[in-house]
Amino acid sequence: MSNNVTYNYQDGVATISMDDGKANALSHDMWDQLGIAFDKAEEAKAIVVLKGRDGLFSGGFDLKELAKGPEQAVFLTSRGSKMARRIMSFPTPVIGVSTGHCIAMGAFLMLACDYRIGAAGGFKTGLNETMIGMTMHHFGIELARYRIPLNYFHRCVINAEIWSPTDAVKAGFYDQAVPIEQLEEATSMVVKGFGQLNMTAFNGTKNKSRAALLQLLDECIESDMIMPDGM
């Protein structure tokens, strides 16, 4: 296993950073490492900050692994769905910090977070699946439907429009976009705000309010695992 994910814990905050030196491709190796990092954060009952490297959060799934065949592609996609679903029900707050480009499965991870901050500038954010010849999976459609405003939903999911960080706030991918030099300060402010909450009440309210959605997402994960006839 390569070391593409780092975990740092300090004062009740777990910072989980992805950096493979390239596109932060979401491969099986990356999912393994993210899973271990989130296990540590959950055990520590920490507020989580999930981020990428300078200029890039994630470019999405590892296309080389997707190209290995339909079964391999379905399995890799399901791992992404399960991680996003885990974030949606994680017992403590998960703050997504997009340090740059945030595309495809990277954008779905951002949609799953409890609060999302994007670095303003010449970065791209969006769901490009139909642009690159992929039919959106059920999980992705329903997660997007939950987080993206209705007047942007078709533009994001079906039309594959790509957004600047500022426009991505309007489209529902981020809660705020700030200059990259202010990213750390903005993150600290959000962490401080979440730190004032009672975590038992946060967890209970988060999962109670999302109970129907989480059930739907579980059904989507199962449905997406069914291989079409002839594949």
Show pLDDT as tens, one digit a residue, over the chain (231 residues): 569 999 999 999 999 999 999 999 999 999 999 999 999 999 999 999 999 999 999 999 999 999 999 999 999 999 999 999 999 999 999 999 999 999 999 999 999 999 999 999 999 999 999 999 999 999 999 999 999 999 999 999 999 999 999 999 999 999 999 999 999 999 999 999 999 999 999 999 999 999 999 999 999 999 999 866 433
CA angle 91, 153, 28 (to 5 degrees): 50
Residue 8 class from Cβ within 10 Å (0-12 exposed, 13-18 middle, 19+ buried)?
Answer: exposed
CA angle 128, 53, 182 (to 5 degrees): 100
Per-residue pLDDT, 228: 60
Spell out the domain ranges in the chain: 5-224
CA distance 96 to 104: 15
Q: What's the CATH fold of domain 5-224?
A: 2-enoyl-CoA Hydratase; Chain A, domain 1 (3.90.226)
Q: Check if the beta carbon of residue 63 is closer than 8 Å to that of residue 107.
A: no
Where helices occur in 90-229 by DSSP H, the ranges are 105-112, 138-147, 150-157, 165-170, 183-195, 199-209, 211-224
Q: From residue 185, how far is each of 97, 117, 169, 192, 215 by CA, in Å?
A: 12, 11, 18, 11, 36
Q: Please state the pTM of the whole predicted model.
A: 0.96
Positive or negative: CA dihedral 211, 215, 216, 218: positive
Per-residue pLDDT, 211: 98
CA distance 113 to 127: 16
Positive or negative: CA dihedral 219, 220, 223, 225: negative
